[in-house]
Amino acid sequence: MQNDNILEMIKIDKVFPGVKALDQVDFMVKRGEVHCLIGANGAGKSTLMKILSGAYKEDGGKIIFDGKQLSWHGTEARRKEGISVIYQELSLFSELTVGENVYINHYPKKGGKIDWKKVYEDTQKLADSLNIRINAKARIADLNIGQRQLTEIMKAIACNAKLIVMDEPSSTLSKNEFQILVQVIQDLKAKGITIIYISHHLEELFLVGDRITVLRDGRFVTCKGTHELDENTLVEYMTGVTMSQGQQEERKLHKVSDEVVLELKDLCNHKVNHVSFQLHKGEVLGLYGLVGSGRTEILQSIFGVVPPSSGEIYLHGKPVTFKCTKDAIQNGIGLAPESRKTQGLVLPLPVWENMSMVALRKFRIGGKLHYKRIFEECNSYKGRLRIKTPDVHTIAGNLSGGNQQKIILAKWMMKDCDILLLDEPTQGIDVAAKAEIYKLIGEMTQMGKSVIVVSSELEELLRICDNIHVMYDGEQVIQVNRAEFSSDYILHASVVGKPSAQAVN
């Protein structure tokens, strides 16, 4: 029936220079449902949502929301219609409180002044009604990512949103925070609010979604009920390729060399306490733990970003102190950081410059840069990692989120570092490209390189690591080697902060 749709986006077109981002896309959402929107990196999901939110104007097609055809007057007008979009890069003011952020567009007033008492009371009521445990007076800067996300959701509801779009809400959330998000989504649904949910974690779609729309290369592929689909079929719709058996490559139980390439002894910094471990040649070492448990800060101390307050770092048996990242890079260490927009890429530069900037030395022949070889290698990574870009001369800032992440990885893989530090390497990356990244990591270790991976996805670490160290609140809790991997044991340690009784050692 026509009128059970709260949203109808009909034959939407959007062209960017050199890219047809959306080509006659139809997207129909029923009132009160959780509708998942999926597709590989660069498929057009965020663009479609930016058109819905009013951030972009469509080149063709029409949008009917709540029975009314919308014309384009920017994001504020769409918010007033009841459409709120929560982007992955959250837009809260970190120095303000939760309450100040939630009502920022429309503070309740009394006698011409902002009624602060009401701001905080209403915020707290809103939080309680959604079973969100958050203090209305807390400063955003003091909250974790999950709580910030929930604040964004409250802000959307305070604006009377009828439809809330969540663009990859879970990519920065820990398992626990995700559980809370799932509950909040159920509560929103019970209030009659419609949700559009974007994620690359296919298993999540089956937990939260009623229906799924798949986009591929800017085109509508299918829209089906969640119960009619399974993960393999979804991947086929997304990629257009039937998944062959055996694509799930497991890291073999291989003997890691005895040669220690990196050792931390009692390393402390502002976030972590007495961390010690050895990294061997050809080893993939995983750091697991909740967001904020100190994993990133360990990488930062190794890479010379955050100086250790005490303890030692040994590289090939010799103590080292890196004053800056350049020192670390010169010693054969690379770090692909977690926040790509601010740390990993120079957005106004083209793809090839971003990819090759730390590896230029290897392309220098007789004092001159060998551009042909640079472009060849960039193109080879473009192919392997399925980077969706017209060519390597495109400006990196114009690529989709997941494709930017792939460029960062390519950049450090190209550098030929002996030790590569990867912080959440597959965050926001589609399933097909993930498999390729795991394969590349495997190949690097076969060539004698060593890798440390920080990830919030335990599945990922179980698949690619030789050893996993679990962190909790800055402390090292347990170390498990591949032969003893157990997801329950590792999860327990990461949440509770100590090994469970079943501990083997």
Name the site residues for ligand ATP (rule: CB under 6 A). Answer: 16, 19, 21, 39, 41-47, 388, 398-403
Closer CB to ligand ATP, residue 50 or residue 492? 50
Determine, following the binding rule CB under 5 A, whether residue 286 of this chain makes contact with Mg ion. no
Residue 149 lies near Mg ion (rule: CB under 5 A): no
Q: How far is the CB of 184 from Mg ion (least distance, A)?
A: 22
Q: Output 43 or 302, the one with its CB closest to Mg ion.
A: 43
Residue 282 binds which entry of ligand ATP, Mg ion, none, CB below 5-8 Å type-dependent: none
Which of 293, 343, 274 is CA-nearest to residue 454?
A: 293
Please, what is the minimum distance in Å from the beta carbon of residue 390 to ligand ATP?
A: 8
Q: In degrees, to the nearest 5, what angle opens at C-alpha 84 toward C-alphas 80 and 89?
A: 135
Nearer to ligand ATP, 293 or 400 (CB): 400
Can you list the positions of beta strands (E) in 281-373? 284-288, 310-315, 318-320, 333-336, 364-365, 368-369
Closer Cβ to ligand ATP, 47 or 147, answer by number: 47
Number of residues that this document lists for the chain: 505
CB of 431 to ligand ATP, least distance (A): 11
What is the distance between the alpha carbons of residues 135 and 123, in angstroms, rounded to a whole number?
9
Orientation angle between helical segments 431-446 and 231-239, nearest 10 degrees: 90
Say how many residues touch Mg ion, by CB under 5 A: 3
Choosing among Mg ion, ligand ATP, none, which partner's interface includes residue 39 (Cβ < 5 to 8 Å by kind)? ligand ATP
Burial of residue 406, with CB atoms counted within 10 A of its CB: 0-12 exposed, 13-18 middle, 19 or more buried: buried
399 binds, among ligand ATP, Mg ion, none (CB under 5 to 8 A by kind): ligand ATP
Q: How far is the CB of 340 from ligand ATP (least distance, A)?
A: 11
To Mg ion, the closest distance from the beta carbon of 400 in angstroms equals 5
Nearer to Mg ion, 283 or 424 (CB): 424
> What's the rounded Cα separation, in Å, for the pair 235 and 238?
5
Cα–Cα distance between 102 and 386 in angstroms, integer?
A: 39
- Cβ proximity to ligand ATP: between 238 and 287 the closer is 238
* 3-state SS string for 26-66: EEEEECCCEEEEECCCCCCHHHHHHHHHCCCCCCEEEEEEC
Q: Of the two residues 320 and 432, which places its CB atom closer to Mg ion in the complex?
A: 432
In whole angstroms, the minimum distance from the beta carbon of 16 to Mg ion comes to: 14
Does 46 engage in binding with Mg ion (CB under 5 A)?
yes
The answer to whether 356 contacts Mg ion (rule: CB under 5 A) is no
Q: How far is the CB of 195 from Mg ion (least distance, A)?
A: 17
x/- contact string, 378-417, with Mg ion (CB under 5 A)?
Answer: ----------------------xx----------------
Where does 209-350 have alpha helices with state H?
231-239, 295-302, 325-330
Identify any residues that bridge with 195 across adjacent strands, giving them in sequence order. Answer: 34, 164
Q: At what angle do helices 145-158 and 116-129 cross, to 10 degrees?
A: 110
